Every structure is written in C-alpha cells, then in structure tokens.
C-alpha cells in the first residue's frame, strides 16, 4: 500500500507559501544564525482545533525521528540517517525569543529513540542505547563520549528502530521490532510455529537505566507479540507502559481465497496497548479486526479471516484504521492546552489509510481515570494535499512528538526534516 513519496524543493514550498526556511549550514557547529528567515513561519495549512496555531521552527534538517525538549527549552532531535557523519541535533533558542539561533550536530550513530530522565539524555541507535550526562541547566556535559548502556540489539535492517521509554524505578524499555512481516517461513505462506523471531524481536525489552555496558542477554523480555511498537511512552499518571503497534502487511497477496484487496487495505487495525510485564499482544499468531472487534487467527496459522483466535493475547485499548503507521506516542502533562488534553495521549501517524483517504496526522486519545475515550484527529493536513484527489506529492510525514516546558506540542517530520510547534491561546 506504500505510495512513492517524492521530495522536491518546489513541492515543499506548497506548504504555507514558504519561500525560505532556516537555511542551516552543513557544519557540525555553527554560530548563532543571522538569516532573515530564522523567525518561525506560520504553518497555516495545518488543520487544528479552535484556539490552536502552528509554526514551523526548522526544516531541511534530515530524516528527523523522535524528539525531546528539556526544561531549559533545548531541543534534541534524532536522525534516522547520518548528516555530516552525525545523528542527533541540539537546537537552542538562546535568548528565549521563540527563534532557533544555535544548533549542533553530535553523535556518530543514527536512530530513533530519545528521552530525558534523572539528569541524563538517553538516545538509541538501531543496535543499542547511550546516555549523556546533563548539568544543572540540563545541558550536555560531554558530547563526544556518551556512556553505552546497552549494545547488541537485533538489527536486520527492517523495522529496526529502537524507541525507548523510562519508568520511575530505574528501568528503560526498548522496542525490538520484527524483521519478518508475519514470521513466515522462507518461500512459504505458512508461519513458523513456534515463531523463533520472538526470542530476540517482536517485543519490548527492559534494561537497567543506570548500568553500563549491558548486552542483550542482560535484559528482560517485558512483553512479547508486539510486532513493531515505534510509539512507546511511560505514563506517570497510571504508572504504566503504553505502546502503539504497526499492523502486518497485505493479506490478499498470499491468501486471495480469504481476503479481497479492499480487506487488505482495511485490515488489520493499528493498536494502542497498555502493557504489563509478561503480556503477550499476540503477533504473529493473531491480528485485531476493528470491524469485528475481535482477535482473529492469522492466515499463516490456519485462519480464514473469520476464525476467532484462541490465543491468550491482550486486547488493545484503542484500535485505529489500518496502515496509518503510528510512529510516536506521548502522554500530555502540560497546562497550556485545555483541560480535556491533560493526561491524554497524542499519537503521530506516519502513513495513510488508502481506503479512508486519511493519514499523515496527529491524533488524540482522551484518558479519564486511566481509561481511554474515543480517539479524534487533532492535527491534520501535514500531507499538504487532498489524499482523496492528490494534486502533488506528500509534503510531511509526522514522526516524533515532544512537549515543551511551556506545554506546547512539537511534531517532527522525517520527509522534509521539519519541526512544527503547536501552541494554544484561549480566545
């Protein structure tokens, strides 16, 4: 279902009539920027609820993935591909005027995960986890010599991002996604039984956040049957781990007797789980059908699209349309947004549902007393085109989410390397 995404300068200018954005130099360190285009640019084409507005803080940064903002406002942005040999940005508004005027590229590894906890910046490559000591101002003490926390995580090139989250008891959680779409045997439509991939992937692992030089064997498989949870966050309100999972690929290519092309476009659901230690989300043996509201036995394991699974897999809290690609999950704890958003979850969707002609959006799931309500679209039209009748290429793909110290929401885009800041002002 993947569509070819074309990146051109002229296509990018379709968003907000931008004629020049933060002309960053390709250097590891640069002095404060003097360009007349350093001021934030309004992202007027984004569709937001009343009272919200968005600005573009930066663009052309590279393949920006997850992001975190420190208490001092410093922005740390991960890259999935190295830029000038480095894989992470520090972006700083030195004088508090809302404009990025300092930047630094550092870290000689690419990846996705990044978080701040207990005086450290944690950052993942596709094979391991590092941390950088922060001073009292939450500034990195030594950019060149991060401590290695974990090494030796599985990386076969596919679904190899290592998103991470930290709890309040000294543990760090990392996703290890599956590199096989549904644990199929080579040259066969049948699934491996048991699925041996689950020994080292297709789940979430737990390590000690303050112990150096851990290997894969030092970790604990916290949860299994999680195909690829790129969105992962620890919610302090419920003291729980949550994850959004990518669903499997097509059905009709190998099982046309059970599934039509439309069913392949509509199934399976993308899902949000609350995950406890020892949980099994069911992959690859089952998938969740949000039309039937049931866990269905996968065709690789004898299912026919209707057979309910007998696997003891947990149920999702929320089911979303197929193939939207949830790439970030963030529980909102700020005070800027209206009360309904407090302790709710924002989710960045990186792809589109070809059936619904919707996608490339940020959704919101309200939580009341730890229970989720009905999900809704919060920020739409990152695509910059009508997905039902596209007149040009996709402009932006939401990938990362972060909360600023003032309660603003930051959204990264890994297609054009853009950072959006979403604010709220009561009218």
**pLDDT tens digits along 178-237:** 999 999 998 788 999 999 999 999 999 999 999 999 999 999 999 999 999 999 999 999
Structure tokens at 382: 């990152």
**376-394 tens-digit pLDDT:** 999 999 999 999 998 899 9
Q: Which two tokens stand for residue 351?
A: 């792809």
Greatest Cα-to-Cα distance within the chain, rounded to the nearest angstrom: 63
Q: What is the Cβ-side half-sphere exposure of residue 56, based on CA atoms within 13 angstroms?
A: 29
Alpha carbon of residue 349 to chain centroid = 8
φ and ψ at residue 87, rounded to 5 degrees: -125, 10
Grade residue 27 by pLDDT with cuts at 50, 70 and 90. very low
Average pLDDT of the segment spanning 89-109? 91
Helix (H) or strand (E) holding 57, with range, is: strand 52-58
How much is the average pLDDT of 126-138?
97
Are the C-beta atoms of 92 and 75 separated by less than 8 Å? Answer: yes
Model confidence pLDDT, tens digit, residues 306-349: 999 877 899 999 999 999 999 999 999 999 999 999 999 999 99
In 129-266, which ranges are E strands?
129-133, 147-151, 164-166, 171-176, 203-208, 214-215, 220-224, 231-235, 240-245
pTM here is 0.90
Categorize the per-residue pLDDT at 97 as very low, low, confident or very high, splitting at 50, 70 and 90: confident
Q: Looking at the predicted structure, is the pLDDT value of residue 6 above 50?
A: no
Across the chain, mean pLDDT equals: 90
Locus of tokens 């922060």 = 134
* Burial bucket for residue 377 (CB in 10 Å: 0-12, 13-18, 19+): middle
Q: Which residue has the tokens 């619904």?
A: 356
CB 146 within 8 A of CB 120: no
pLDDT in tens, 110-121: 999 999 999 999
Q: How many Cβ atoms from other residues are within 10 Å of residue 94's Cβ?
A: 12
129 forms beta bridges with 124, 150
- 259 or 189: whose pLDDT is higher? 259
Report the alpha-carbon distance of residue 89 to residue 73 in Å, rounded: 13
Task: Please say whether the beta carbons of 40 and 59 come within 8 A.
Answer: no
pLDDT score recorded for residue 38? 54
pLDDT score for 187: 79
Q: How far is CA 234 from the centre of its chain?
A: 14
CB 125 within 8 A of CB 109: yes
Q: Name the DSSP class of 169.
A: S
Segment 284-297, tens digit of pLDDT: 999 999 999 999 99
């Amino acid at each position: 279902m993947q569509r070819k995404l074309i990146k051109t300068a002229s296509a990018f200018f379709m968003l907000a009539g931008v004629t020049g954005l933060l002309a960053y130099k390709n250097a590891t360190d640069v002095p404060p920027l003097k360009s007349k285009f350093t001021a934030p640019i309004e992202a007027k084409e984004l569709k937001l609820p009343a009272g919200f507005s968005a600005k573009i803080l930066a663009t052309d940064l590279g393949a920006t993935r997850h992001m975190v903002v420190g208490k001092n406002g410093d922005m740390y942005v991960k890259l999935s591909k190295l830029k000038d040999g480095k894989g992470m940005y520090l972006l700083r508004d030195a004088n508090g005027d809302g404009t990025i005027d300092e930047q630094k590229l550092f870290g000689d590894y690419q990846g996705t995960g990044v978080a701040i906890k207990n005086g450290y910046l944690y950052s993942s490559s596709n094979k391991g986890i590092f941390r950088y000591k922060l001073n009292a101002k939450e500034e990195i003490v030594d950019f060149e010599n991060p401590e290695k926390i974990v090494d030796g995580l599985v990386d076969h090139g596919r679904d190899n991002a290592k998103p991470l989250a930290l709890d309040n008891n000294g543990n760090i959680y990392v996703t290890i996604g599956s590199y096989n779409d549904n644990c199929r045997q080579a040259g066969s439509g049948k699934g491996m039984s048991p699925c041996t991939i689950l020994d080292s992937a297709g789940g979430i692992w737990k390590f000690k956040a303050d112990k150096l030089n851990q290997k894969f064997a030092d970790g604990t498989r916290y949860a299994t049957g999680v195909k690829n949870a790129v969105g992962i966050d620890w919610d302090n309100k419920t003291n729980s781990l949550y994850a959004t999972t990518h669903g499997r690929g097509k059905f009709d290519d190998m099982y046309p007797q059970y599934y039509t092309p439309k069913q392949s476009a509509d199934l399976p659901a993308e899902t949000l789980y609350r995950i406890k230690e020892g949980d099994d989300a069911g992959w690859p043996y089952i998938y969740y059908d949000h039309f039937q509201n049931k866990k269905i036995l996968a065709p690789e394991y004898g299912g026919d699209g209707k057979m309910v699974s007998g696997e003891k897999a947990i149920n999702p809290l929320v089911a979303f349309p197929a193939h939207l690609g949830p790439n970030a999950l963030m529980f909102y704890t700020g005070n800027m947004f209206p009360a309904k958003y407090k302790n709710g979850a924002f989710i960045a969707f990186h792809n589109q549902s070809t059936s619904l002609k919707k996608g490339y959006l940020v959704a919101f799931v309200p939580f009341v007393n730890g229970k989720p309500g009905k999900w809704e679209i919060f920020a739409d039209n990152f695509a910059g085109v009508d997905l039902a009748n596209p007149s040009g290429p996709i402009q932006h793909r939401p990938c990362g989410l972060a909360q600023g110290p003032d309660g603003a929401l930051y959204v990264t885009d890994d297609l054009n390397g853009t950072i959006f800041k979403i604010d709220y002002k009561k009218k």
